[in-house]
Amino acid sequence: MELAQVEPLAGDRVQSTQLRKYLWAFLWTVFSSLVTVVWPLVQGRSPWLAWNFSVLGITVGMISLSVSRFFDVRHPFAAPELVLLVFSMAQRFSFPVFLPGGTTRAADEFLFCFDIKMFGQNCDVILAKLFNLCPALGLVCGAFYCALPAVVVFVYLALPNSRQVRQRYCALIALTAVVLFAMYSICPGAGPKFLFRADFPYKVPAQIVPHLRFIPGAVLNATPSGHIAWALLLLWAARRHCGKYCQYNCVVFLIFTILSTMGLGEHYVIDLIAGVPFAAGMWVLMDRRWQEAICAFLLVAAWSVALRSGWALQLPREAAWLACAATVAFPFYLRPISPVAAARESVGFAAGSGG
């Protein structure tokens, strides 16, 4: 008789837990949706409330995290929606405070001249003109460029349903942002769109005498390219943990990120090149391959110093091409998707999959 009474009580407890879970999922979804709807309505009242497509990417990511609560997704944080919002906004507003374009001398003219040295003309100008001729392509690439926060969340949700794996992924994304900021301070740059302003892309000079200069109002986050670094990290995370569908989508995202960073005038080609070893360095750092990570970061730092000082412009064109090719090939030497590291993490995942 007692056993018959215990079983309904246990069932009621499980049902109550499920209802509570769905209630919290519903409330978080409402909160994320309200942020998405209300934010554009109050924009302009404060610099913190400016609305653009990048903010839309953040709010889409928040809604996705909230909806995932209905499907028993295990999060390493109690409120991942707020973590995403606070992290994204803190990163966004750290540049005007710690690396302001109006008081920090940017190396954009040196970066621009290096592109001219390598290719005979600025590749950003070519792609920007193509975007103007084909607005649909420019719109699609712009959407991909602003979708980074949402794509970070999509890959996060595609990971194995383990707090341990997702915690490591979040640590990788956050640490990348911190180290990127340190790299930006070595060779601050804004991108040709901010260097030439209204003259971009049709009135960009063929040659200039480079010097460090202030670019008021610009965000100095060009070298190395954070977008390329994150796109590569997302692809490598998908290769290690996710299925083929997610991997193919990450490849598409990487391709459109490359096109958009240049076609929108946000980066120079050398920024993209420097972003490759930087991403590899971050990945092997998380695998605790310390020496290889240090080598990767030293390579990126060497490029940053050489570009800002103008030393890179002294290289013969053939030597510059060889140096760029070696820089892009460097991650293949590091083998960021190391079978040994993957096996080590798989053991850790199996041990902690109950978390």
Query: In this predicted model, what pLDDT tens digit does every residue of 87-96 receive, in sequence order?
Result: 888 877 788 8
Q: What is the pLDDT of residue 6?
A: 47
Residue 94 within any structural domain of the chain: no
Angle between helices 290-309 and 108-119 (to 10 degrees): 90
Give the Å distances, CA to CA, from 124 to 69, 103, 210, 261, 318: 42, 26, 18, 8, 21
The residue from 59, 89, 119 where one domain ends is 89
Residue-averaged pLDDT of the chain: 87
Asked whether the beta carbons of 118 and 321 are under 8 A apart, the reply is yes
Residue 166 shares a structural domain with residue 36? no
Residue 67 shares a structural domain with residue 127? no
Give the Å distances, CA to CA, from 351 to 14, 78, 168: 26, 22, 15
Residue 171 shares a structural domain with residue 279? yes
Residue 69 shares a structural domain with residue 122? no
Q: What is the pLDDT of residue 45?
A: 65
Q: What is the pLDDT of residue 46?
A: 63
pLDDT digits (tens, 9 = 90+) for 99-110: 888 889 999 999
Regions of the chain with pLDDT less than 70: 1-14, 44-49, 336-355
Q: What is the pLDDT of residue 48?
A: 60
Residue 165 within any structural domain of the chain: yes
How many Å is the Cα radius of gyration of the chain?
23
pLDDT digits (tens, 9 = 90+) for 127-150: 999 999 999 999 999 999 999 999
Residue 190 shares a structural domain with residue 318? yes
Which residue type, as a one-letter code, is found at position 160?
A: P
pLDDT digits (tens, 9 = 90+) for 16-28: 778 888 999 999 9
Asked whether the beta carbons of 265 and 225 are under 8 A apart, the reply is no
Name the domain count of the chain.
2
Residue 79 shares a structural domain with residue 113? no
Domain region containing 165: 99-352
Residue 80 shares a structural domain with residue 11? yes
Q: What is the pLDDT of residue 3?
A: 45
